[in-house]
Amino acid sequence: MAAIVQGIGATAAPSASSNKFLLSSLGSSLLEKKRNFFVVRSDGKCYTGLNQQQRRAQNVVTNAVATKEEKASAAVGSKPGHELLLFEALREGLEEEMDRDPCVCVMGEDVGHYGGSYKVTKGLAEKYGDLRVLDTPIAENSFTGMGIGAAMTGLRPIVEGMNMGFLLLAFNQISNNCGMLHYTSGGQFKIPIVIRGPGGVGRQLGAEHSQRLESYFQSIPGIQMVACSTAYNAKGLMKAAIRSDNPVILFEHVLLYNLKERIPDEEYVLNLEEAEMVRPGEHVTILTYSRMRYHVMQAAKTLVNKGYDPEVIDIRSLKPFDLYTIGNSVKKTHRVLIVEECMRTGGIGASLTAAINENFHDHLDAPIVCLSSQDVPTPYAGTLEEWTLVQPAQIVAAVEQLCL
């Protein structure tokens, strides 16, 4: 099958400089001290071993979702450009790279004439033909393996999983081949492949369609992982991932596709290994990514009204971590709160906690706090689904406790 796909481009694209990156340390458990132990529940109430007078978390709006008014950054929003929804920004980045490089191709379920389950590839089959936008059978392990083989021959395939949970069926190809072939071949092969698709907890999609696979893939050597959260960084990360000689997994959140933002008319490509400073602050560093960025920013409004000055960082690069940006923030605020949608056990937050403790422990004035989803299958019932996720009330309460 790889030989068939190879007909897309006569020659391989000029190889970009290889992205060298360090794999972030995998953490164990969060640093805890009994005298500072506290639990923040979804109703916003804080239960702690400290004095009763210090229990002062208040309820705020729960069930935050991204709103169209939220911008990636004020600087970008103020510049001339054009407005796109997030899924349209992904498509624009993909289309620009397909125009630039004939070796770029797309494969996956319904990516062709149907346009993808969330319309990211809409119109591309008509423009580029069925060989460069290849509809595949419902066989994730097979077409992911075909994409890896195509990458070995010099193509730059983008493999779409209709839902990130389906890619568990391709875990063998991603772990044993995609991440390791560059090493096991003694450097003879590069695997410039992008694996992307929607994931995260939507609205009553059920447990099997609400997977957060960051924790599954983070331990695979040789894989880079990034998560987009705005139309601006979605396009920039898509273009950077396609140009990278490393295999990249691009995580998209199912509830963010319809976010609208003004992005520049001129071409831009983001750094795959760089975090984004969303809001500078002095009192506490809040690290987050994907949909939780908007929960954090909603909580930040309440925190500012209460007199706190949180610094919010969208880490974007889930592997490797941008420890330069994170470290500078920790050295300034001396307190860290991690907010993620991933599961608590073995999640991105656990790895990030370990990395910060190993590198910046002397700069911390309080134990790192990590707010994560509960270790349960995501319920179908909407009210129960909300209870499994971190809500703005919990973020407010955690910051208040950290800043005592």
Query: Hey, CA dihedral for 28, 344, 26, 174, is it positive or negative?
Result: positive
Give me the DSSP letters along 129-150: -TTTEEE--S-HHHHHHHHHHH
Q: Would you call 209 a catalytic residue per the annotation?
A: yes
Beta strands in 243-399 (DSSP E): 248-253, 260-263, 276-279, 284-288, 310-314, 317-319, 336-343, 369-373
Clarify whether 182 is annotated catalytic.
no
Name the amino acid, one letter, at 139.
A
d(CA 295, CA 289): 10
Q: Is the dihedral of CA 7, 234, 352, 371 positive or negative?
A: negative
Question: How far apart (Å, rounded) are the C-alpha atoms in residues 358 and 366?
Answer: 15
CB 10 within 8 A of CB 103: no
What's the rounded Cα separation, in Å, for the pair 337 and 399? 7
Residue count of the chain, please give it: 404
Among 109, 140, 273, 340, the active-site one is 140
Whole-angstrom Cα Rg for the chain: 21
CB contact burial 376-385 (16+ within 10 A = b; e otherwise): eebbeeeeeb
User: Strands 276-279, 284-288: parallel, antiparallel or unpaired by DSSP?
Assistant: unpaired
Amino acid at 17: S
Q: Out of 209, 253, 283, 295, pick the active-site residue.
A: 209
Q: Which residues are annotated as catalytic?
A: 140, 209
